[in-house]
C-alpha cells in the first residue's frame, strides 16, 4: 500500500465547505480512479486552520498516474477553498488499525 499526506491551510470560515468538497472529491476519485482506495481527514487539535488529508493507494504507480503534473484538476475545488501547503508520499510498512 501507499499513502499520501496532503497538508492544507484552510480558513476556519471555509472549513465546512472544504470538508464537503473534500468528501465529494475523495469519493469521486475512489470510485473512478484505478488504484485509489479512499482517504481520511484530520484537523489539528491546537490550530483549526491546519488540515491533513491522507489518501490510500494500491501502489505508488497508481498515485503517480493520477498525480501527473502535481496539480490534478479533480482537486481544483479544494484548492479554491484552501491552500495546499505540502504533499508527502509514503510506502505503508504496517497498519494495525481496526
| Grid cell for residue 67 | 498525480
Whether residue 8 has pLDDT greater than 80: yes
In the chain, the domains with their CATH numbers are 2-91 (3.30.70.100)
* Residue pointed to by grid coordinates 472529491: 25
Distance CA 20, CA 41 (A): 11
Q: List, for residues 37-64, the tens digit of each pLDDT value.
A: 999 999 999 999 999 999 999 999 999 9
pLDDT, averaged across the chain: 94
Cα–Cα distances in Å, from 65 out to 30, 33, 70, 78?
A: 14, 9, 10, 20
What pLDDT is attached to residue 69?
63
Distance CA 91, CA 14 (A): 31
Query: What does the longest C-alpha to C-alpha distance in the chain come to?
Result: 37
Element (H, E) at 66: helix 60-67
- Mean pLDDT over 67-85 rounds to 85
Whether residue 70 has pLDDT greater than 80: no
CB 81 within 8 A of CB 13: no
Enter the pTM of the model: 0.91
CB 82 within 8 A of CB 19: no
Amino acid at each position: 500500500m501507499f499513502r499520501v499526506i496532503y497538508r492544507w491551510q484552510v480558513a476556519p470560515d471555509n472549513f465546512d465547505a472544504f470538508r464537503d468538497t473534500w468528501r465529494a472529491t475523495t469519493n469521486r476519485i475512489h470510485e473512478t480512479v484505478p488504484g485509489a482506495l479512499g482517504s481520511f481527514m484530520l484537523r489539528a487539535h491546537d490550530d483549526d486552520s491546519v488540515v491533513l488529508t491522507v489518501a490510500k493507494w494500491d501502489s505508488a504507480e497508481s498515485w503517480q498516474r493520477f498525480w501527473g503534473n502535481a496539480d490534478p484538476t479533480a482537486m481544483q475545488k479544494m484548492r479554491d477553498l484552501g491552500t495546499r501547503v505540502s504533499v508527502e508520499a509514503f510506502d505503508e510498512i504496517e497498519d494495525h488499525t481496526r
